[in-house]
Amino acid sequence: MTPHSPASTPRIWVDADACPAAIRDILYRAAERTRTEVVLVANRWLQTPASRFVRSLQVGAGADAADDAIAERVAAGDLVVTQDIPLAARVLEKAAAAIDPRGVPFDRDSIAERLSMRDFMAELRGAGIHTGGPASLHPRDRQAFAAQLDRWLAAQR
């Protein structure tokens, strides 16, 4: 799969290694409903529904292999679904949009602050301080994601 020209239909790229199944299901339904290509990128094999709009791309092992593959292929106007803040920063630099699986958009105004907070939390964990992990996905998170996805899809028409 190669990068596409900005004049072509925008794609949705999914950092699928950590994307919850409930969010992938929302993406599958949206792909069919709107005829939008969804590409799930992971370093493991993923089963996807039989659809001409949903594809998976398996990349090599490595912590950033999926992120690198997405960053190489994303084009201006595409959408990336990721929890990874550094990947979101790379995507924004390419004039693509990014949202997390809870429906929170990444934007140029807040990405530097989010990167700083991420680095600070990593320092705390490195010092042995337990910072906890993300809360489990709640139905309101799925609703927020679906609403944000619908806004992006509507803007593409």
* Residue 73 confidence (pLDDT): 97
* Residue 4 confidence (pLDDT): 55
Q: What would the mean pLDDT of 128-145 be, rounded to a whole number? A: 82
How many Cα atoms are found within 13 Å in the side-chain-facing hemisphere of 50? 0
Kindly state the helix (H) or strand (E) to which residue 14 belongs, with its residue range: strand 12-15
Q: What would the mean pLDDT of 31-50 be, rounded to a whole number? A: 95
Q: What is the CATH number of the domain that holds 17?
A: 3.40.50
* Residue 5 confidence (pLDDT): 46
Let me know if residue 2 belongs to a domain. Answer: no
Domain count across the chain: 1
Name the pLDDT band for 130 (thresholds 50, 70, 90).
confident
Let me know if residue 4 belongs to a domain. Answer: no
pLDDT over 70, % of the chain: 83
Let me know if residue 1 belongs to a domain. Answer: no
Q: Could you report how far apart the first and last alpha carbons of the chain are, in Å?
A: 24
Q: Give the domain extent around 18.
A: 12-130+139-156
With a cut of 80, say whether residue 132 has pLDDT above it: no
Q: Which residue has the higher pLDDT, 81 or 111?
A: 81
With a cut of 90, say whether residue 39 has pLDDT above it: yes
- Give the single-character DSSP code of 10: P
